């Protein structure tokens, strides 16, 4: 079944929307936060546990899976769903972001990007066609077009040529891909922090008519205000009947602010990464479990949370696990952090349904400590 988006409701108070995204492996309710399973695993968790938390879709990284264990091996295993035993939707990125952030000695040409593996220094070439070929082998429901994620800040001249090349690469991705019932591709809008270039990019990418669009080149180190300004400008230009995906967003404030501006999907390694360092997100703000003040705190991480961790374990116990380097500490913190963001998005969907998202945001921000 080809990727299809159904717009259920538009908020009367902001640009937020409710939708349903149909994929070959099931329906996703939007807005949604997607946990990241970089190397075909959401770190420390079994897929059954991830599903139990309420995750509707996960993300996996093309660059990592291409280098190890290799896309052909995963294809031989029957595709990524089968290989990792996850039967719900999967989104794969194009590999572009990692080539730019991890790959060494990159050389960008019209053909693609030549780079050296961060693991063993071996030489590789990623092109739009190669990225789709790899993602075809992985068999993800949603693939991403191969783009250049330009650094922030960059000059207008640099962003312009990079954005134009990204549009030509998007066209090549679309031409290379064949089976649109099995897998869809999302096009990526670039243009950095320059509105005229954003406008050009939206025009070029939406002309190619993809089943969904990502807003790229944001959440790359710019201040939240600037991201909001670019989103305010960009999302209204995107077609209403297609999903919008903002890459790399995973703190409560960034999630609220992007949903309010019309974003339907977001992902980030943050909740799982900070969990493994013992930092948890709670209704009352960030909680660093290693702090001495929790040594004899026998209450849950978050008294308002009903996740497996909070129902069964105390702050004192989880702190102890981290102090003696027991892996159960990372697992319990990961369960809580993922559940916290999945539940937050569920609450956000409820609030959109009832036209009280702005009120809910204020309530959440006060309690979390973002505002007084």
Question: Site residues (CB under 5 A) for Zn ion?
Answer: 305, 307, 309-310, 336
Q: Is residue 290 a contact partner of residue 269, using CB atoms and an 8 Å limit? A: no
Task: Report the 10 Å Cβ neighbour count for 304.
Answer: 12
Cβ-count burial 250-282 (b if 16+ within 10 Å, e if not): bbbebbbbbbbbbbbbbbbbbbbbbbbebbbbb
Query: Sign of the CA dihedral 45, 243, 195, 199?
Result: positive
* Residue 97, annotated as binding a ligand: yes
Among residues 141, 264, 267, 302, which one is catalytic? 267
Q: How far is the CB of 37 from Zn ion (least distance, A)?
A: 20
- Judged by beta carbon, residue 177 or residue 336, the one nearer Zn ion is 336
CA distance 9 to 5: 12
Q: Is residue 296 a contact partner of residue 317, using CB atoms and an 8 Å limit? A: no
* Residue 93, annotated as binding a ligand: yes
Q: How far is the CB of 302 from Zn ion (least distance, A)?
A: 5
CA distance 295 to 336: 19
- Judged by beta carbon, residue 244 or residue 336, the one nearer Zn ion is 336
Q: Is residue 57 a contact partner of residue 32, using CB atoms and an 8 Å limit? A: yes
Q: Is residue 183 a contact partner of residue 166, using CB atoms and an 8 Å limit? A: no
Q: How far is the CB of 294 from Zn ion (least distance, A)?
A: 15
Per-residue DSSP letter, 36: B
CA distance 125 to 115: 6
Task: Report the 10 Å Cβ neighbour count for 298.
Answer: 10
Q: Give the DSSP H or E segment for 326.
A: none
* Residue 191, annotated as binding a ligand: no
* Residue 310, annotated as binding a ligand: yes
Among residues 93, 141, 264, 302, which one is catalytic? 93
CA distance 95 to 100: 9
- Judged by beta carbon, residue 44 or residue 309, the one nearer Zn ion is 309
* Residue 336, annotated as binding a ligand: yes
Tokens coding 160: 């312009």
- Judged by beta carbon, residue 172 or residue 319, the one nearer Zn ion is 319
- Judged by beta carbon, residue 163 or residue 338, the one nearer Zn ion is 338
**In which residue are the tokens 């070959």 written?**
24
Q: Is residue 289 a contact partner of residue 276, using CB atoms and an 8 Å limit? A: no
State yes or no: cis peptide before 153, omega within 30 of 0. yes
CA distance 24 to 140: 9
Q: How far is the CB of 254 from Zn ion (least distance, A)?
A: 21
Annotation says 93 is catalytic = yes
* Residue 167, annotated as binding a ligand: no
Q: How far is the CB of 305 from Zn ion (least distance, A)?
A: 3
- Judged by beta carbon, residue 139 or residue 271, the one nearer Zn ion is 271
Q: How far is the CB of 369 from Zn ion (least distance, A)?
A: 18
DSSP string computed for 143-161: EE-------SS--HHHHHH
Catalytic residues: 93, 267
Annotated binding site for substrate: 93-97, 147, 190, 217
Annotated binding site: 93-97, 147, 190, 217, 305, 307, 310, 336
């Amino acid at each position: 079944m080809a990727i299809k988006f159904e717009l259920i409701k538009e908020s009367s108070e902001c640009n937020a929307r409710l939708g349903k995204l149909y994929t070959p492996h099931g329906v996703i309710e939007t807005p949604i936060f997607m946990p990241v399973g970089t190397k075909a695993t959401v770190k420390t968790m079994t897929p059954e546990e991830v599903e139990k938390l309420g995750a509707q879709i996960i993300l996996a990284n093309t660059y990592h899976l291409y280098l190890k264990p290799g896309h052909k091996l995963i294809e031989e295993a029957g595709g990524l769903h089968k290989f990792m035993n996850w039967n719900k939707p999967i989104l794969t990125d194009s590999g572009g972001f990692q080539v730019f952030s991890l790959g060494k000695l990159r050389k960008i040409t019209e053909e693609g990007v030549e780079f050296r593996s961060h693991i063993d220094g071996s030489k590789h070439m990623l092109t739009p066609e190669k990225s789709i070929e790899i993602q075809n082998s992985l068999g993800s429901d949603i693939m991403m077009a191969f783009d250049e994620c330009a650094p922030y800040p960059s000059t207008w001249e640099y962003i312009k040529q990079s954005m134009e090349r990204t549009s030509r690469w998007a066209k090549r991705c679309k031409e290379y891909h064949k089976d649109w019932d099995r897998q869809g591709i999302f096009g990526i809008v670039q243009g950095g922090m320059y509105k005229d270039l954003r406008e050009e990019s939206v025009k070029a990418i939406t002309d190619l008519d993809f089943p969904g669009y990502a807003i790229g080149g944001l959440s790359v180190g710019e201040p939240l205000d600037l991201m909001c300004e670019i989103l305010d400008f960009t999302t209204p230009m995107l077609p209403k009947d297609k999903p919008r995906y903002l890459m790399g967003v995973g703190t409560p404030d960034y999630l609220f602010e992007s949903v309010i501006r019309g974003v339907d999907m977001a992902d980030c390694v943050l909740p799982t990464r900070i969990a493994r360092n013992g930092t948890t997100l709670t209704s009352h703000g960030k909680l660093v479990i290693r702090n001495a003040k929790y040594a004899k705190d026998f209450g849950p991480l978050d008294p308002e949370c009903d996740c497996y961790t909070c129902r069964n374990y105390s702050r004192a116990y989880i702190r102890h696990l981290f102090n003696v380097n027991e892996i159960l500490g990372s697992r319990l913190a990961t369960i809580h952090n993922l559940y916290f963001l999945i539940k937050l998005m569920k609450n956000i969907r409820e609030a959109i349904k009832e036209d009280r998202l702005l009120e809910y945001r204020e309530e959440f921000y006060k309690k979390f400590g973002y505002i007084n």
